[in-house]
Amino acid sequence: MSQPRSDVRVWRWRIAIAMAVSGLLLAAPFPVGADLEADFNRCRADILRIGDNPGNAWETYCLGLSYQFALNRKRDSARAIEWLTRAARQDFAPAQTVLGYMIENGIGAAHDPAAAVEWYRRAAKAGDPDGLFNLGRAYENGIGLSRDLAQARSFYERAAALGQRDAQQSLAALGRPAPAPSAEQTEFARGSALYKARDYAAALRVFQALAERGYAPAQLQTGSQYARGEGVTRNATVAAKWYRKSADQDYAIAQNNLSGAYEYGEGVSEDWAEAFRWAQRSAGQGNAQGLFLVGRAYQFGIGVPQSRGEAIKWFDRAAAKGHDQADYWVNTLRGRGNFIGFRDEDEQTFVIGGKLRTDTQLVWAEPRGVRFRSSAERWQYLRDLRGTTDRNEAWAIWSRTSERYAACKRGETGDAYCAEPGPEP
Quick: pLDDT tens for 211-263.
Answer: 999 999 999 999 999 999 999 999 999 999 999 999 999 999 999 999 999 99
- Predicted confidence at residue 383, as pLDDT, reads 93
- Predicted confidence at residue 176, as pLDDT, reads 67
d(CA 309, CA 315): 10
Residue 372, SS3 per DSSP = strand
**What would you report as the CA-atom Rg of the chain, rounded to the nearest whole angstrom?**
26
- Predicted confidence at residue 178, as pLDDT, reads 61
Quick: pLDDT tens for 69-128.
Answer: 777 788 899 999 999 999 999 988 899 999 999 999 889 999 899 999 999 999 998 888
pTM of structure: 0.63
Encoded amino acid at 132, one letter: L
- Predicted confidence at residue 9, as pLDDT, reads 32
Closest to 96 (Cα-Cα) out of 126, 66, 73, 141 = 126
- Predicted confidence at residue 23, as pLDDT, reads 26
218, 207 in Cβ contact below 8 A?
yes
Residue 302, SS3 per DSSP = strand
Enumerate residue ranges in the chain where pLDDT < 50: 1-34
- Predicted confidence at residue 49, as pLDDT, reads 86
Closest to 95 (Cα-Cα) out of 67, 120, 78, 127 = 120
Closest to 212 (Cα-Cα) out of 202, 225, 201, 223 = 223
- Predicted confidence at residue 86, as pLDDT, reads 93
